[in-house]
Amino acid sequence: MNEYKIDQLQNSIKGSRNKSSKPKIKGFGYQVLGFGSGGGAKTYDADYLIIAGGGSAGSASGGGGAGGYRSSYGSCAAACGVAKITFGAGCYTIDIGAGASGSTGHGALGSDGNICGTGINFSSSGGGNAGAPGGSGAGTGYHGGAAGAGNKGGYSPVEGFAGGAGSPSHGKPGGGGGASAVGVGGPGAGGAGLTSGITGSCVTRGGGGGGFSSSPASPQPGGAGGGGNGAPGPGGSSGTSGSANTGGGGGDGGPTLGSGGNGGSGIIVVRFPGCACVSVAPGTNSVAACVGPSNDKVATFTVDGTLTVA
* Tens-level pLDDT at each residue, the chain (310 residues): 444 443 443 444 444 444 444 443 333 333 333 333 345 689 999 999 999 999 999 999 999 999 999 999 988 898 888 999 999 999 999 999 999 999 999 999 999 999 999 999 999 999 999 999 999 999 999 888 899 999 999 999 999 999 999 988 777 999 999 999 999 998 899 999 999 999 999 999 999 999 999 888 788 999 999 999 999 988 789 999 999 999 999 999 999 889 999 999 999 999 999 999 999 999 999 999 999 999 999 999 999 999 999 9
Interstrand relation of 296-301 and 286-291 (parallel, antiparallel or unpaired): antiparallel
Give the model's pLDDT for residue 7.
45
**What is the C-alpha separation between 132 and 138, in angstroms, rounded?**
6
Distances in Å between the Cα of 250 and the Cα atoms of 110, 139, 218 are 10, 11, 17
| Spatial contact of 186 and 210, defined as CB atoms under 8 Å apart | no
C-beta separation of 291 from 199 below 8 A: yes
What pLDDT score does 81 carry?
Answer: 87
Report the alpha-carbon distance of residue 61 to residue 230 in Å, rounded: 11
Helix, strand or coil, per DSSP, at residue 71: strand
Give the span between the Cα atoms of 303 and 293, in whole angstroms: 28
Distance CA 57, CA 76 (A): 31
User: What are the backbone dihedrals phi and psi of residue 195, each rounded to the nearest 5 degrees, phi first?
Assistant: -105, 135
- pLDDT for position 79: 84
Considering only CA atoms, give the Rg of the chain.
31
Query: What is residue 277's DSSP assignment?
Result: -
pTM for this predicted structure: 0.86
H-only helix segments in 211-296: none
Instruction: Give me the helices (H) in 24-175, please.
Output: 28-34, 75-79
Q: What are phi and psi of 204, to 5 degrees?
A: -100, 130
CA–CA dist 15, 218 (Å, integer): 110
- Coil, strand, or helix at residue 86? strand
Closest CA to 184 of 159, 216, 162: 162
Provide the greatest CA pair distance for the chain. Answer: 134
The closest alpha carbon to 249, from 97, 145, 121, belongs to 97
Can you tell me the distance from the alpha carbon of 28 to that of 10, in angstroms, rounded to the nearest whole number?
Answer: 36
Domain boundaries, the chain: 47-86+96-268+287-295
DSSP summary character for residue 221 = P
β-strand partners of 287: 299
